[in-house]
Amino acid sequence: MFHVGGARSALYNWAVAHKAGGVFVLRIEDTDEARNRPEWTDGILSALAAIGIDSADPAFEGPYFQSRNATLHRESAVRLFEAGRAYYCDCTREDLEARTGSKHLGYDGFCRDRGLAAGDGRALRFRTPDEGVTVVADLVRGDTEFPNASLEDFVIARGNGSAVFLLANVVDDVDQKITMVIRGEEHLSNAAKQQLLWEALGATPPQWAHLPVIVNEKRQKLSKRRDKVALESYLDEGYLPDALVNYLFLLGWGPKDDIEIRPYAELEQLFDLRDVNKSSAFFDVKKLSSFNADYIRALDADAFVRACEPWLLGPKAPWAKEAYDPAVFAEVAPLVQTRITVLDEVPMYVDFLFLAEPADDEAAWAKAMKPGAADVLTSARDELSRAEWNVDALKAAVEAAGAAHGLKLSKSQAPVRVAVTGRTIGLPLFESLQVLGRDRVLARVDRALKRLAAQ
């Protein structure tokens, strides 16, 4: 699963790297074997490619794997110990709780001056400065000050000598000459510790940019346990990649001319981290859907048909593959294109063309097939059986059938629509009848009359 927040961070990193003539570095933090699988790496690459971050682009470097740098991580930990910037500690959580009387207080520095050497069960802790302030200069949030006295002596290596993520991440950044780190606001609390590690390793810290948190309609941080956050989910529902990219770019930033819908190339040139808002960004699915509808309508005819193919030919289609007729879909595609907001709505509009019988919506049936519906359908069948098969003639036929029973067209067409398509809503009725053909239309009217007679 590729979180939409991660997708936004990736897009901002990609834009900054491209614009500055730099490189975008993808590093897989794979030191936790339980959370590392090759297919997950493939999923990340696939998701990045879907939003235009192409691993074949010269600006793309990676993927690098953190686990392959384990020797350098260990060496760096030892170097910090030998320089007096870290010390070994054998305190357990129970020891700390017994000394402080609390489960919630940070480490108390008990082992700072005990002079312990490396050994089983002894973690390596960074010796944070006792005085002064660590200032994290952030391109989004400005200067954020962290009093050193408030930073505990944090663990940088486990008892077995392996580096924890905090140190491994900094060592990798230094090794790969990272000059800018753009990430979510939730990582700001780690920035002071990481900056101290950069400096202790004799390196110049990168430029920091911490992006605003993304929230739902209740202004709660997006959570995979509560909200739909996977980029893949939106792609699977038929949100166009270009629409997603455009919308994600605007989560916390906007062009100064307030023109929101625009191609990626323009967004990249206009984007500036210094213009990113500090306030949380609302992930508005309705607005995203509106964006997507605009992008769908902007597709040319061939591009729209190609975009629909996974829902027409693949496992997402509710009909057998051999039932699909591309020539038939081409006839109605312009009508579908103006009505949908996401591509997974396509089958609902056209299934009556490719299924042997319409997929009856029982609520629609109950609404349309009220007393008198059978009489209207009988008259409509008679009119349709001898009408010329074009939109105007079909409309006149259904209108005449209704008039015979004192009904306006808006009332007479409802039972015909449900009989033929299975639904009360859909494509324009008379265009639908024309494409479906006389024989199939009459057969479906007969089917509806038979059902009504059995009620």
Six token digits for residue 362: 């029982």
C-alpha span between 378 and 383 (Å, rounded): 9
Give the three-state DSSP class for 155.
strand
Is the CATH number 3.40.50.12780 carried by domain 362-454? no
Domain locations along the chain:
299-354, 362-454
Which pair of tokens denotes residue 259? Answer: 């023109």
The confidence score (pLDDT) of residue 80 equals: 98
Return d(Cα 439, Cα 24) in angstroms, integer: 59
Q: What are phi and psi of 60, to 5 degrees?
A: -100, 130
The whole-angstrom separation of Cα 178 and Cα 13 is 12
pLDDT for 224 equals 83
In this predicted model, which residue has the larger pLDDT, 39 or 407? 407
Contacting residues for 121 by C-beta, under 8 A, at least 6 apart: 90, 159
Binning pLDDT at 50, 70 and 90, where does residue 170 land? very high
Query: 423, 414 in Cβ contact below 8 A?
Result: no
Consult the annotation and say whether 308 binds a ligand.
no
Residue 172, marked binder = no
pLDDT digits (tens, 9 = 90+) for 328-387: 999 999 999 999 999 999 999 999 999 999 998 999 999 999 999 999 999 999 999 999
Residue-wise DSSP of 392-414? HHHHHHHHHHHHTTT--HHHHHH
User: Is residue 86 over pLDDT 70?
Assistant: yes
The vertex-25 CA angle with 21 and 27, nearest 5°, equals: 180
Q: Tell me what pLDDT residue 38 has.
A: 72
Q: What is the pTM of this model?
A: 0.90
Answer yes or no: are the C-beta atoms of 272 and 254 closer than 8 Å: no
Mean pLDDT within 62-80? 95
Question: Could you tell me which of 351, 356, 338 has the C-alpha nearest to residue 312?
Answer: 351
Instruction: Report whether 177 belongs to an annotated binding site.
Output: no
User: Is the pLDDT assigned to residue 25 strictly greater than 80?
Assistant: yes
Q: CA-CA distance, 137 to 151, in Å (whole number)?
A: 17
pLDDT surpassing 70 at residue 286: yes
How do beta strands 142-147 and 60-65 pair?
Answer: unpaired
pLDDT exceeds 90 at position 455: no
Cis-peptide, bond into residue 371, ω within 30° of zero? no
* Side-chain-side CA neighbours of residue 426 (13 Å): 29
